[in-house]
Structure 1
Amino acid sequence: MTTLTDRPNTALLVVDVQNGVVDEAYERDSVVANIGALVGRARREDVPVVWVQHSDEELVRGSEEWRIVGELDRAESEPLVEKSYGDSFEDTDLEKVLAERGVGRLVVAGAETDACIRSTLHGAMVRGYDVTLVGDAHTTFDKTEWGAPTPEQVIAHTNLYWRHQVAPGRKGGTVKTEDVVFRG
């Protein structure tokens, strides 16, 4: 249903699964395992896997905190998009990477739910993509000391509202890892 013409393909977008982003994250190990399972399935089904990696004054490029977590291994042939804003499209080459692969639908996983995931979901939809969030493959850390809901509530709310997200000619959706369909 994407509004992008000649974009029949789906890609798995893995956002900011970096040591300094997910080390303290809610259900970190199960989320990383689910992302690993998605990456494996995408590769077996010949679906593009696109990695996004954030850098800023706290996530210094080249530092241990900046690195993708050890449990996940980006293949050399898989694009890596470096970003410095929440929305993975903002001031990056992500749109070019996706256009070159004929991608009009994204399956999104990663971190942080209430920051880069949310921004990227909305950024993709306003740019014309259909966007599926993998509900058990994104996470955040506890920000309750600053007045935020618990991580579990943030994740549940994001899954709920994205499940019903629509726009003219585009749709969102939330599914579990086991229910992801890359083709069809």
Structure 2
Amino acid sequence: MHEIGPNSRNSWRADATRVDLRRPQRPARPVTVEAQPQILTLDLASTAIVVIDMQNDFCSPDGWLASIGVDVSPARTPLPVLQRLLPALRAADVPVVWLNWGNRPDRANLPPGVLHVYDQDGTGGGLGSQLHTGARVLERDSASAEITAPLFAAPGDLHIAKYRMSGFQDTELDSVLRNLRADTLLFAGVNADQCVLATLMDAASLGYDVLMLEDAVATTSPAYCMDATVYNVRQCFGFTLTAADLQEAV
């Protein structure tokens, strides 16, 4: 029989006369890790990591935020953590999903409210504006949306462009995760109190288990924003843990 499906995790088997609707049964791979507010046991066989906005415009000294005077050094603190963690997760067959902000060049799906956040007086400098590098701010398939070095995607990683604080709005993120048969989502990236939190909240509302990796997220916002984010994730949506503890458990 032949496989029909988007990947080996979610597929039928079929030949000319029969179709077998049973999905492949993946052996459970439980790991137990220190977390807050409680110790967690999670199944790596149904887990994926979503890495949010670790891209040049947010994290690079030559990117957009740096060009408008934002100190991006806090946004770079997850880099060494993810350099260590992602290879370990890939080796454990945990899918890596890169969720980077990447607008359409014509910005046709962006309402005024999204554009206003970064261009409050309408004179430019926001989404789609041209940088000194020649790239346009947060534009898909440009240097602005590329994963920032020294991070890089590996073969088999998945890439999804987003256009809002939440990566679920107007994107295929939910469909991709369902096809991966991922119930538990690890969250990493920037900004913890903005795009990471918005995506995590939507994931929780959709029924995913949500785990934020405290040492693999960061923000250029004031420290109280991070404190509130950690509190709210633990109190209202899911759990926090460290990448270091997870990597040791894996």
Which bin holds the TM-score, normalised by the shorter protein? 0.7 to 0.9
**2:220 paired residue number:** 141
**1:15 paired residue number:** 52
User: Equivalences for 1:8-157 in 2 at 5 Å?
Assistant: 9-23=46-60, 24-56=71-103, 57=128, 58-142=137-221, 150=222, 152-157=223-228
Question: Counterparts of 1:116 and 1:99 in 2: how far apart (Å)?
Answer: 21
Q: CA deviation at 1:32?
A: 1.2
3-state SS of paired residue (1:131) = strand
Question: Counterparts of 1:182 and 1:9 in 2: how far apart (Å)?
Answer: 19
Residue 165 in structure 1 maps to residue 228 in structure 2: no
Q: CA deviation at 1:156?
A: 2.4
Greater relative CO, 1 or 2 (CA 8 Å, sep 6+): 1
- TM-score, length basis structure 2: 0.61
Change (3 A) 1:27 1:69: same
- Asked if the contact 2:58–2:75 (Cα under 8 Å) also holds between the matched residues in 1, the reply is no
**1:103-146 alpha-carbon deviations (Å, 9 max, x no partner):** 0110000011222111101010000101000111111224xxxx
- TM-score, length basis structure 1: 0.81
Question: Counterparts of 1:137 and 1:107 in 2: how far apart (Å)?
Answer: 10
In structure 2, give the amino acid aligned to 1:61: R
- Asked if the contact 1:121–1:131 (Cα under 8 Å) also holds between the matched residues in 2, the reply is yes
3-state SS of paired residue (1:82) = strand
**Gapped regions of structure 1 (runs ≥ 5):** 1-5, 143-149, 167-171
In structure 1, give the amino acid aligned to 2:230: N
3-state SS of paired residue (2:183) = strand
- Asked if the contact 2:48–2:96 (Cα under 8 Å) also holds between the matched residues in 1, the reply is yes
Q: CA deviation at 1:47?
A: 0.7
CA RMSD of aligned residues (A): 2.3
In structure 2, give the amino acid aligned to 1:78: D
- Asked if the contact 2:75–2:191 (Cα under 8 Å) also holds between the matched residues in 1, the reply is no
Q: CA deviation at 1:42?
A: 0.8
Q: Which has the larger radius of gyration?
A: 2
Question: Counterparts of 2:54 and 2:72 in 1: how far apart (Å)?
Answer: 10
**Gapped regions of structure 2 (runs ≥ 5):** 1-24, 26-42, 61-70, 104-127, 129-136
3-state SS of paired residue (2:201) = helix
**1:146-172 alpha-carbon deviations (Å, 9 max, x no partner):** xxxx1x222222112212224xxxxx1
Question: Counterparts of 1:61 and 1:121 in 2: how far apart (Å)?
Answer: 22
3-state SS of paired residue (1:159) = helix
Change (3 A) 1:34 1:79: same
- Asked if the contact 1:28–1:139 (Cα under 8 Å) also holds between the matched residues in 2, the reply is yes
In structure 1, give the amino acid aligned to 2:193: D
In structure 1, give the amino acid aligned to 2:218: T
